[in-house]
Structure 1
């Protein structure tokens, strides 16, 4: 790309390119050269917008986490509608889209990235997802659709862990019926049977 040519929203263009590389080639292939080549820009463009490649990757992960804010609000707003099992099955399917699964793999793959993200316990993206699910379950508990003594944090972790295992094979999405059965099993002691 010639120098001096303005690139509209270069950061988003680079994020989109990184996601394509991740999906196609995996975390080990994600390099600054691969990202800029995929984006069709000079390597210097990445370094103009980010201090280094790890800073770029940290912002890529943060961008994914920021997208979860809308998902979280929508999930909490859905409390009291439909069945808890159906709502959570749908939420897990939306959460674990192929890009999210690839980003989780990237965070696991790169120790430097985890250190730079500097989060508390857990893996970034998955930890935020667990908080999102716990928030929804707390809303359902307040409505009486989840047992008053239910440990929503533990239920959320169980759902996220189970969901991640089922979605980890990026080539084969889990059968929605199987996913629903897993959600129902995790919630078996917390949700009244008639509401499943």
Structure 2
């Protein structure tokens, strides 16, 4: 483990084990795990890490604190998942074929189906974020979701070069989401 708490491969280093949690603190760890999984669904929760004296087995009940690190997926991850090479190719196919778009409309599908489904997915994610009070209560989900998908599509649709770097996607997401974030509590 290095000084930043990371293993050689860049993942968070384990400094203990659930087997070493003192018996008196097992209910606390179990309650924390239940609360985390109840609060964040599988699409939002990436991982949760218990660290410090409790998993090392050196905690003192009533004195030691519970150290948790929760890692969540974000809008950047969702957009990268949405705009894989297959999606970009299908969107290009649909947008350049008038007959195919007409048949999709006849089948009751409006817009570009994958983009519409992606927008619905992002909107559901942003709605959950607003309910968790990570976004401001007046965040305009109906505008944010299609804006994120549209801007994401523009980043990923350039088929003459490699997909955009994660930093470019994160910058776009951060810029678009800036006004919707809940101000820090003081």
TM-score (norm 2): 0.58
**Which one has a bigger Cα radius of gyration?**
2
Question: Which of 171, 174, 177 lines up with 2:167 in the alignment?
Answer: 177
For this pair of structures, how many residues does the alignment match? 119
The aligned counterpart of 1:89 is 76
Offset at residue 78 of structure 1 (A) = 3.8
Q: RCO greater where, 1 or 2, for CA within 8 Å and sep 6 or more? A: 1
Q: Residue 177 and residue 193 in structure 1: after superposition, are their counterparts in 2 closer, same or farther (change >3 A)?
A: farther
Q: Deviations 1:122-171 (Å, cap 9, x if unpaired)?
A: 22211111111001100111111111111112101110011000000133
Question: Which of 97, 118, 131 lines up with 1:129 in the alignment?
Answer: 118
Instruction: Write 1 or 2 for the structure with the bigger share of strand.
Output: 2
TM-score (norm 1): 0.55
1:188 aligned counterpart, secondary structure: helix
Map of 1:102-141 to 2, 5 A cutoff?
A: 102-118=89-105, 119=108, 121-141=110-130
Instruction: Write 1 or 2 for the structure with the bigger share of helix.
Output: 1
The aligned counterpart of 2:143 is 154
Q: Deviations 1:148-195 (Å, cap 9, x if unpaired)?
A: 111112101110011000000133211111110110011001113659
Consecutive unaligned residues of structure 1, counting only runs of 5 or more, are 1-72
| Backbone CA RMSD of aligned residues | 2.4
Q: Residues of 2 paired with 1:152 and 1:82: CA distance?
A: 23
Is the 1:130–1:153 Cα contact (8 Å) retained in structure 2? no
Q: Residue 194 and residue 90 in structure 1: after superposition, are their counterparts in 2 closer, same or farther (change >3 A)?
A: farther
The aligned counterpart of 2:177 is 187
